[in-house]
Structure 1
Amino acid sequence: MTDDAGTSPSRRALLGWGGAGLALGAAAAGGAAAALSGGADETGAAAGSGGAVPFYGAHQAGIATPVQDRLHFAAFDVTTDDRAELIALLKEWTKAAARMTQGHPVGGGAVSDLVEAPPDDTGEALGLKASRLTLTIGFGPTLFRDKKGKDRFGIADRRPEALIDLPAFPGDNLEAARSDGDLCVQACADDPQVAVHAIRNLARIGMGRVAIRWSQLGFGKTSSTTPDAQTPRNMLGFKDGTRNIAGTDTAALDKHVWVSEKAGPAWLAGGSYLVARRIRMHIETWDRTSLKEQEDVFGRDKGEGAPQGKQHEHDEPDLRAMLPTAHVRLAHPDSNGGARILRRGYSFTDGTDGLGRLDAGLFFLAYQHDVRDGFVPVQRRLARSDALNEYIQHVGSALFAIPPGVRDADDWWGRALFSGRAPDGAPDGAP
Structure 2
Amino acid sequence: MAEEKLTQAAEATEARDAAQPAVVAQAGAATAAPSRRSLLAYAGAGLALGAAGAGGAAAMSGQGSGAMESAALAGAAVPFHGAHQAGIATPVQDRLHFAAFDVKTEDREELIQLLKDWTRAAERMTAGLTVGEGAVGGLPEAPPDDTGEALGLKPSRLTLTVGFGPSLFAKGRFGLEDKHPAALVDLELFPGDNLDPARSGGDLCVQACADDPQVAVHAIRQLARIGFGKTVVRWSQLGFGKTSSTTPEEQTPRNMMGFKDGTRNISGTDTAALDKHVWASAKDGSAWMAGGSYLVARRIRMNIETWDRTPLQEQEDIFGRDKGEGAPVGRARERDEPFLPAMKPEAHVRLAHPDTTGGAMILRRGYSFTDGTDGLGRLDAGLFFLAYQRDVHKGFIPIQRNLARADVLNEYIQHVGSAIFAIPPGVRDEDDWWGRTLFA
- TM-score, normalization: structure 1? 0.88
Quote the Cα distance in structure 1 between the aligned partners of 2:133 and 2:60: 25
Aligned 8 A contact 1:8 1:108 in 2: no
Task: Name whichever of 357-366 and 261-270 sits farther off.
Answer: 261-270
1:278, CA displacement in angstroms? 0.1
The yes-or-no answer on 1:130 pairing with 2:155 is: yes
Q: Note if contact 1:350-1:360 (Cα within 8 Å) is conserved in structure 2.
A: yes
When the two chains are superposed, the root-mean-square deviation of aligned CA atoms in Å is 2.2
Residue pair 1:51, 1:130 contacting (<8 A) in 2 also: yes
- Residue 263 of structure 2: which of 216, 239, 242 is its match? 242
1:117-147 superposed Cα distances (whole Å, 9 cap, x missing partner): 10000100000000000000000000011xx
Deviates more, 1:341-350 or 1:328-337: 328-337
Deviation, 1:411, is: 0.3
Aligned to 1:98: 123
Change (3 A) 1:261 1:7: farther
Structure 2 alignment gaps of length 5 or more: 1-6, 17-38, 52-58, 62-69
Q: Give yes or no for the alignment of 1:370 onto 2:391.
A: yes
Q: Quick one: structure 1 residues 161 and 192, their matched pair in 2 at CA, closer, same or farther if it must change by over 3 Å?
A: same
**Corresponding residue for residue 408 of structure 1:** 429
SS at match of 2:326: coil
Q: Is the 8 A contact 1:74 1:213 kept in 2?
A: yes
Counterpart selection for 1:77 from 79, 92, 102: 102
Report the Cα distance in structure 2 between the residues aligned to 1:363 and 1:321, rounded to whole angstroms: 29
Shift of 1:8: 11
1:160 and 2:178 matched? no
1:7 deviates by: 5.0
User: Would the aligned equivalents of 2:162 and 2:424 in 1 still touch at CA under 8 Å?
Assistant: yes
Deviations 1:208-248 (A, max 9, x none): 00000000000000000012322100000001221000000
Partner of 1:41: 49
For residues 50 and 119 of structure 2, what CA distance do their matches in structure 1 show? 25
- In structure 1, what residue type is equivalent to 2:114? L
Could you tell me whether the CA contact under 8 Å between 2:60 and 2:91 is conserved in 1?
no
Contact 1:103 1:130 in 2 (8 A): yes
Deviates further, 40-49 or 93-102: 40-49
CA deviations on 1:375-425 (whole Å, 9 max, x unpaired) are: 001100100100100000000000000000000000000001001xxxxxx
Aligned-partner Cα distance in 1 for 2:92–2:14:
32
Is 1:169–2:190 an aligned residue pair? yes
Match of 1:215 among 231, 236, 244: 236
Question: What CA deviation, in whole Å up to 9, does each residue of 1:251-310 have, x standing for no partner?
Answer: 000000000121131110000000000000001000000000000000000011110111
Q: Secondary structure at the match of 1:379?
A: helix
Q: Residue 78 of structure 2 aligns with which residue?
A: 53
The answer as to 2:237 corresponding to 1:231 is no
AA in 1 matched with 2:49? D
Q: Check conservation: 1:50, 1:131, Cα contact below 8 A.
A: yes
Distance 2:316 2:60 in 1: 37
Instruction: Report whether the alignment pairs 1:204 with 2:225.
Output: yes
Q: Which amino acid aligns with 2:10?
A: D
Shift of 1:71: 0.1
Aligned counterpart for 1:111 among listed residues 109, 118, 136: 136
Aligned-partner Cα distance in 2 for 1:388–1:230: 24
Q: 1:24-71: per-residue Cα shift (whole Å, max 9, x none)?
A: xxxxxxxx99x9797251573599984100000000000000000000
Unaligned runs of 5+ in 1: 11-31, 420-431
Q: Displacement of 1:73 after TM fit? A: 0.1
Q: In 1, Cα distance between the equivalents of 2:48 and 2:298?
A: 31
Residue 5 (str. 1) matches residue 11 (str. 2):
yes
Percent of aligned pairs with the same residue?
75
Provide the rounded CA distance (Å) in 1 between the counterparts of 2:43 and 2:167.
Answer: 32
Secondary structure (helix, strand or coil) at the match of 2:421 reads strand
Alignment of 1:351-390 (within 5 A): 351-390=372-411
| Runs of 4+ deviating beyond 4 Å | 7-10, 35-38, 45-50
> Which amino acid letter does the alignment assign opposite residue 217 of structure 1?
L
Distance in 2, Cα, partners of 1:7 & 1:228:
38
Answer yes or no: is the 8 Å Cα contact 2:253–2:262 preserved in 1.
Answer: no
SS state of the match for residue 419, structure 2? strand
Letter in 2 for 1:404: P
Does structure 2 retain, via aligned residues, the 8 Å contact 1:8–1:107?
no
Evaluate the alpha carbon distance shift between residue 211 and residue 9 of structure 1 in structure 2; reply closer, same or farther with a 3 A threshold.
Answer: farther
Which deviates more from structure 2 when the two are superposed, residues 358-367 or residues 258-267?
Answer: 258-267
Q: Which amino acid aligns with 1:41?
A: L
209, 232, 243: which one aligns with 1:188? 209
Structure 2 residue corresponding to 1:391, chosen from 397, 408, 412: 412
What TM-score does the superposition give when structure 2 sets the normalisation length? 0.86
Indicate conservation of the 8 Å contact 2:200/2:418, yes or no: yes
Contact conserved, 2:298 with 2:419, CA < 8 A, in 1? yes
| CA positional deviation for 1:351 | 0.5
For residues 277 and 15 of structure 2, the distance between their equivalents in structure 1, rounded to whole angstroms, comes to 44
Task: Provide the C-alpha distance between the structure 1 equivalents of 2:14 and 2:105, rounded to a whole number of angstroms.
Answer: 28
Quick check: 1:45–1:51 contact (8 Å CA) kept in 2?
no
Quote the residue 1:18 is aligned against. Answer: none
